[in-house]
């Protein structure tokens, strides 16, 4: 036996020991100290500036002087609803929807493989593969895609080598999705959006699938469900919160982006570009603010609809 030990050890002493004891007795103080700085940041700097921007949308611009008139009015929202602006909104929402659906379809098998089968080294490789594109600059990736999709680009070259130029030309001559080349078509914009936002879909879907116990899939098969039935009735509903989380990223990021459609795509505007143009060169802050409200409202409806459809039931 060594020397007898006291049942209660003396305090550690020093400032750190005293502080530790105080926090242990008052855990709420520690919690408050940890939470107040980020809450101030979120509450004042982030939400505050968002509401300040929203408030701007209820002002209007004086058509003669080009100065902002600080009177509450819905005139700016009326302007938002003119055909040219509605066009921009519809174009952006359709693009965001297409990108989101495609991202979900592409992401699901990848996420499923990673969650269910990948182990050890393969899992590390999976994360690296998903994250690696996020490490390089967004602009570099977008310009790289411009080179891939351009008329003198790699994709054209491949089609030519495969003697499939006629196929590409037939596709490009289609209305709406076509254009002079892929880099100036909606298809090009779509492909770049899909590429850039895909990790934001894969990761939440993978996290959701990881939480689905493997024996649920076995139980489903045991009860007579074919793999397709299991996918529809067990996997998809349970992965839905992940798909919705991912789609919030892909949908809202596409709604707000103003760089990709400017570099790759036709010259027609998306919401982000409209905001950029109105707050910059045009100096029409109220209309820019009104445009900004559009994605916020759309996301609100989107989440409400998703909840109504039971997308969060499995949470």
Residues that bind another protein (CB under 8 A): 213, 215-216, 218-226, 229, 233-234, 237-238, 313-314
Shortest distance, CB of residue 300 to another protein, whole angstroms?
25
**Cβ closest to another protein, residue 241 vs residue 265:** 241
| Sequence-distant (≥ 6) Cβ neighbours of residue 87 within 8 angstroms | 268
- What one-character DSSP code corresponds to residue 28? H
Nearer to another protein, 75 or 116 (CB): 116
CB of 231 to another protein, least distance (A): 12
**Which of 238/287 has CB closer to another protein?**
238
Secondary structure E strands in 149-251: none
Residue placing its CB nearer to another protein in the complex, 114 or 238: 238
When the beta carbons of 136 and 229 are compared against another protein, the nearer one is 229
CB of 112 to another protein, least distance (A): 17
Report the interhelical angle of 186-210 vs 83-116 (nearest 10°). 40
- d(Cα 315, Cα 300) in Å, to the nearest integer? 19
CB of 235 to another protein, least distance (A): 11
Nearest-approach distance from CB 204 to another protein, in angstroms:
17
For the chain, where are the alpha helices, taking DSSP H only? Answer: 14-25, 27-40, 48-56, 75-80, 83-116, 120-135, 138-149, 154-161, 165-172, 186-210, 214-222, 227-230, 236-256, 260-263, 271-279, 285-308
């Amino acid at each position: 036996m060594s020397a007898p030990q006291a049942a209660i050890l003396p305090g550690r002493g020093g400032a750190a020991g005293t502080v530790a004891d105080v926090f242990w007795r008052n855990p709420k103080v520690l919690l408050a100290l940890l939470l107040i700085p980020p809450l101030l940041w979120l509450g004042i700097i982030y939400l505050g500036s968002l509401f300040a921007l929203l408030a701007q949308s209820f002002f209007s611009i004086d058509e003669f002087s080009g100065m902002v008139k600080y009177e509450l009015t819905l005139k700016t929202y009326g302007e938002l609803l003119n055909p040219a602006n509605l066009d921009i909104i519809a174009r952006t929402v359709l693009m965001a929807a297409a990108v989101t659906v495609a991202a979900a379809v592409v992401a699901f098998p990848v996420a499923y493989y990673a969650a269910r089968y990948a182990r050890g080294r393969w899992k590390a490789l999976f994360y690296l593969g998903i994250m690696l594109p996020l490490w390089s600059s967004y602009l570099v990736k977008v310009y790289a895609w411009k080179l891939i999709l351009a008329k003198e680009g790699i994709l054209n070259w491949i089609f030519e080598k495969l003697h499939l130029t006629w196929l590409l030309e037939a596709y490009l001559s289609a209305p709406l999705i076509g254009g002079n080349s892929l880099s100036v078509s909606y298809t090009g914009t779509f492909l770049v959006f899909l590429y850039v936002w895909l990790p934001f879909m894969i990761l939440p879907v993978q996290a959701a699938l990881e939480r689905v116990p493997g024996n649920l899939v076995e139980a489903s098969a045991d009860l007579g469900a074919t793999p397709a039935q299991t996918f529809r009735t067990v996997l998809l509903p349970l992965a839905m919160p992940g798909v919705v989380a991912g789609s919030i990223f892909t949908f809202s990021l596409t709604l707000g982006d103003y760089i990709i459609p400017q570099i790759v795509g036709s010259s027609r505007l998306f919401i982000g570009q409209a905001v950029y143009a109105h707050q910059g060169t045009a100096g029409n802050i109220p209309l820019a603010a009104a445009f900004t409200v559009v994605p916020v409202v759309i996301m609100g409806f989107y989440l409400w609809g998703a909840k109504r459809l039971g997308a969060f039931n499995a949470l």
